[in-house]
Amino acid sequence: MSLLHLAIILPFVVAIIIPIIYKWTKKIHTGWLVLPVPIILFIYFLSFIPKTMNGSTVETFQWIPRYGINFTVVVDGLSLLFALLITGIGSLVVFYSIYYLGKNKERLNNFYAFLMIFMTAMLGVVLSDNLIVLYLFWELTSISSFLLIGYWYHRERSRYGARKSMMITVFGGLMMLGGFIMLHIMTDSFSIREILAASEAISQNALFIPAMILILLGAFTKSAQVPFHIWLPDAMEAPTPVSAYLHSATMVKAGIYVVARFTPLFALSPIWFWTIAIVGTTTLLWGSINATKKNDLKAILAYSTISQLGLIMTLLGIGAASLHFDNLSDDIYVLAIVAAVFHLFNHATFKGSLFMMVGIIDHETGTRDIRRLGGLMRIMPITATIAFIGTFAMAGLPPFNGFLSKEMFLESLLNLTKLNLWNADTWGILLLIVGFIASVFTFTYSMIIFFKTFTGKQKAYLLPKKPHEAPFGLLLSPAILAFLVLFIGIFPNVIAAPILEPAVKSIVPSLATNADFHIHIGLWHGITPALLMTVGIVILGTILYKTHRFWKPFITTRVPKKLRIGKSYDKGMSYLEQGSYRFTMTVMTGWLRTYLNYMLFAFIVLVLGSLILTDSLNLKFENLTSVTLVDFVLAAVILVTLIGIVFSKSRITSIILLGAMGYTISIFFVIARAPDLALTQLIIETISVVLYLLVFYHLPQFSNIEEKPRFFSVKTFLSIGIGITITLVALSAYDTTFYDSISQYYIDNTYKEAAGKNIVNVILVDFRGFDTLFETTVLAIASIGIFTMIKLRLTKRRDKNENQ
**Closest by Cα among 162, 205, 168 to 184:** 205
DSSP β-bridge partners for residue 71: 61
What predicted TM-score, i.e. pTM, was given to this entire model? 0.82
Q: What confidence tens digit (pLDDT) does each residue in 506-526 have? A: 998 888 777 778 888 988 878
- pLDDT reported for residue 558: 64
Helix (H) or strand (E) holding 69: strand 69-75
* HEC readout, 453-470: HHCCCCCHHHCCCCCCCC
Averaged pLDDT score across all residues of the chain: 88
Q: What confidence tens digit (pLDDT) does each residue in 244-256 have? A: 998 888 888 999 9
Helix (H) or strand (E) holding 72: strand 69-75
pLDDT class for 329, splitting at 50, 70, 90? Answer: very low
With vertex at residue 190, the alpha carbon angle to CA 186 and CA 194, rounded to the nearest 5 degrees, is 80
Distance, in Å, from the CA atom of 288 to the CA atom of 434, rounded to the nearest integer, reads 11
**Closest by Cα among 295, 268, 282 to 438:** 282
Burial of residue 219 (CB within 10 Å: 0-12, 13-18, 19+) is buried
In one letter, which amino acid is 495? I
Helix (H) or strand (E) holding 778: helix 769-803
Cis peptide before 227 (omega within 30 of 0): yes
- Measuring CA to CA, how many Å separate 111 from each of 118, 167, 241? 11, 21, 10
- Range from 101-115, 423-437, 534-548, 630-644 carrying the lowest mean pLDDT: 101-115
Long-range contacts of 303-306 (CB under 8 A, 24+ apart): 303/233, 303/445, 304/351, 304/394, 304/442, 304/445, 304/446, 305/224, 305/232, 305/247, 305/248, 305/252, 305/351, 306/224, 306/226, 306/229, 306/232, 306/233
In one letter, which amino acid is 456? G
In the 8-state DSSP scheme, what is residue 325?
A: -
pLDDT at 637 over 70: yes
- Measuring CA to CA, how many Å separate 72 from each of 3, 8, 59? 12, 12, 6
pLDDT at 331 over 70: no
DSSP 336-396: HHHHHHHHHHHHHHHHHHHHHHHHHHHHHHS--BTTT---TTTT-HHHHHHHHHHHHHHHT
pLDDT class for 334, splitting at 50, 70, 90? Answer: confident
pLDDT class for 592, splitting at 50, 70, 90? Answer: confident
Distance, in Å, from the CA atom of 213 to the CA atom of 206, rounded to the nearest integer, reads 13
How many residues does the structure list for the chain? Answer: 804
Three-state secondary-structure class, residue 64: strand
Helix ranges, 150-207 (H) = 156-187, 192-197, 199-202
Helix ranges, 396-528 (H) = 401-416, 424-454, 472-490, 501-507
- pLDDT reported for residue 209: 94
**Closest by Cα among 297, 454, 483, 282 to 383:** 454
Distance, in Å, from the CA atom of 603 to the CA atom of 721, rounded to the nearest integer, reads 10
Position with higher pLDDT, 317 vs 786: 317
Would you tell me how many other CB atoms lie within 10 Å of the CB of residue 567?
Answer: 14
pLDDT at 754 over 70: yes
Q: What confidence tens digit (pLDDT) does each residue in 449-464 have? A: 999 999 988 888 888 8
In the 8-state DSSP scheme, what is residue 634?
A: H
- pLDDT reported for residue 391: 96
DSSP β-bridge partners for residue 69: 64
CB neighbour burial string for 721-755, b if at least 16 within 10 angstroms, e if fewer: bbeebeebbebeeeeeeeeeeeeeebeeebeeebe
